[in-house]
């Protein structure tokens, strides 16, 4: 465990030196504060509290932004070290390859979690300071949104690290990262919608749709926050989807965890066999 913690600490220090933590935190805080005060104005008219509106807005934002930040952080985690010649030095210490990979993963997740907590937390603090009432249910939804946002980021960090173990140069890894973001965040849902529109004979069952949604961590996150949390389905316009799916919040969280563990295990298996 000491080796893992040392690698994780190294990643955090490098993230601070490269200003990743500061940049990501400022970006998330700026967008969160903007959405908080723009969304707080109509909150009473839509029959919801200001924090509930912010949860819906930030959940929609996170689907696009957090996967991109996670992939940018992680896509060169392995191949970048190899190009710089520091991976051989790192592995010269008494530490296994899987420990290096896990330490890098934990360090990058710590950076993303800190940026998310500080950035999004600034919105809740600002709303409370402005005198908006924050109920227990709204606070719980906000906490679950932050936790699931970190989990979404972890899934894409794991995917980025897998890509980084498969290629030989950073440019290819960056291209794969961009392709993953486009596929998971933009193309997948459009393709799914096209499939449903084209299915005039009704051959696509509800179970098949649920399976296709679980095959994308961004969709699992979207359903959890915009349809699965109590009181937010009507506000986000996804209440009918929540009623028509068999995916419970527990299943959605399990799917997000699988999207973290499976790519990370695959990355460890590939890296253990890779020639340096």
DSSP per position, 197-248: HH-TT--S-HHHHHHHHHT-HHHHHHHIIIIISTTHHHHHT-HHHHHH----
pLDDT tens per residue, range 20-55:
778 888 888 888 888 777 755 544 444 456 777 778
- Residue position matching structure tokens 């210490």: 93
Q: How many CB atoms are located within 10 Å of the residue 6 CB?
A: 17
pLDDT tens per residue, range 145-186:
899 999 999 999 999 999 999 998 889 999 999 999 999 999
Q: What share of the chain in percent tops pLDDT 90?
A: 33
Question: What domain count does the chain have?
Answer: 1
Query: In this model, does residue 237 exceed pLDDT 50?
Result: no
48 secondary structure, DSSP code: S
Give phi and psi for 210, each to the nearest 5.
Answer: -60, -40
Cβ-contact 161, 267 below 8 angstroms: yes
| 227 — pLDDT class (breaks 50, 70, 90) | low
pTM above 0.75, yes or no: yes
- E strands, the chain, in order: none
Considering only 62-76, 226-240, 245-259, which range has the smallest mean pLDDT?
Answer: 226-240
Amino acid 159: pLDDT: 96
Domain that holds residue 158: 2-273
DSSP assignment string, 150-169 = HHHHHHHHHHHHHHHHH-SS
- Residue position matching structure tokens 């190899």: 82
Amino acid 236: pLDDT: 46
pLDDT tens per residue, range 49-93:
677 777 888 888 889 999 999 999 998 888 888 888 788 888 887
| Element (DSSP H or E) covering residue 220 | helix 217-223
* CA–CA gap between residue 264 and residue 276 (Å, rounded): 19
The closest of 139, 84, 150, 141 to 117, measured between CA atoms, is: 150
């Amino acid at each position: 465990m000491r080796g893992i913690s040392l690698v994780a600490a190294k990643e955090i220090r490098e993230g601070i030196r490269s200003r990743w933590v500061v940049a990501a935190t400022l970006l998330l805080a700026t967008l969160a504060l903007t959405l908080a005060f723009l969304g707080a104005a109509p909150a009473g008219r839509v029959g919801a509290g200001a924090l509930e509106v912010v949860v819906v807005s930030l959940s929609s934002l996170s689907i696009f932004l957090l996967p991109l930040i996670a992939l940018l952080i992680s896509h060169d985690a392995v191949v970048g070290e190899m190009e710089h010649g520091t991976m051989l030095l790192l592995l010269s210490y008494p530490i296994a390859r899987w420990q290096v990979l896990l330490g890098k993963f934990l360090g990058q997740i710590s950076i993303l979690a800190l940026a998310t907590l500080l950035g999004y937390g600034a919105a809740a603090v600002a709303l409370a300071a402005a005198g908006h009432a924050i109920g227990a249910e709204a606070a719980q939804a906000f906490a679950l949104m932050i936790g699931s946002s970190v989990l979404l980021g972890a899934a894409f960090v794991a995917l980025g690290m897998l890509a980084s173990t498969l290629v030989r140069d950073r440019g290819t890894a960056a291209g794969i990262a961009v392709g993953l973001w486009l596929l998971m965040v933009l193309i997948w849902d459009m393709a799914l919608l096209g499939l449903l529109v084209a299915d005039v004979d009704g051959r696509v069952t509800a179970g098949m749709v649920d399976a296709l949604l679980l095959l994308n961590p961004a969709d699992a996150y979207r359903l959890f926050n915009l349809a699965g949390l109590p009181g937010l389905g009507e506000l986000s316009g996804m209440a009918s989807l929540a009623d028509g799916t068999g995916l419970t919040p527990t299943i959605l969280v399990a799917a997000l965890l699988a999207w973290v563990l499976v790519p990370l295990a695959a990355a460890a298996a590939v890296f253990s066999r890779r020639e340096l």
